[in-house]
Amino acid sequence: MKLKQLEGLLGGLDQFPNPKVELEQYPTGPHIASRMLFTAENSFEDISNKVVADFGCGCGTLGVAAALLSAEHVLSIDIDPESLEIASLNAEELEVDMDFIQSNVMDLRWRGQIVHTVIMNPPFGTRKKGADLDFLNVALKVASQAVYSLHKSSTREHVKRTALRDFNACNAEVLCE
């Protein structure tokens, strides 16, 4: 699938009608989502034929993109049932197969690395300090291959240092600004 085609399909997805501030809900735009997943697949081969988990999936934009790029299986996880409903309808609209799990990412009791790739646009931690790092910590524990995560520019260096020093990441690099 070409990048512009992916972006076009993601641009038609439903988004939050009333984002919940306490959950730091905000849409992942089709421009950044398509580029993030397209890069993960075409530069690193981390999507097609892989088990992909979308942490804090919201309306499902990243997970749908992974499914459109031929992920073997997509697990979309969010604490909010209304978000999961929108994500499910988006997946249905584009006829992609995904599983939806209602859970706080911190409460997942997965043992070991059971997914290849984790994709996420986590809460930035403006409501709950460190929420982005909590998501990243769990993602690095369950992903056997890669973690792709969006973060605020102002926290970039702190996130990289923490991932390498405290979460045993093999490497951390900025792929796009």
CATH of the domain at 119: 3.40.50.150
Q: Is the pLDDT of residue 21 over 90?
A: no
Percent of the chain with pLDDT over 70: 99
Q: Which domain holds residue 58?
A: 3-15+29-165
Burial class (CB in 10 A: 0-12, 13-18, 19+), 32: middle
DSSP-derived secondary structure for 87-156: HHHHHHHTT---EEEES-GGG----S--EEEEEE----SSSSTTHHHHHHHHHHHHEEEEEEE---GGGH
pLDDT in tens, 108-118: 888 777 899 99
Cα 163 to Cα 41: distance, rounded to the nearest angstrom: 22
Q: Is residue 176 assigned to a domain?
A: no
Q: Is the pLDDT of residue 57 over 80?
A: yes
**Residue 160's pLDDT band (boundaries 50, 70, 90)?**
confident
Q: Is residue 81 assigned to a domain?
A: yes
The DSSP output letter for 51 is E
Overall average pLDDT of the 1-27 stretch:
91
Q: Is residue 171 assigned to a domain?
A: no
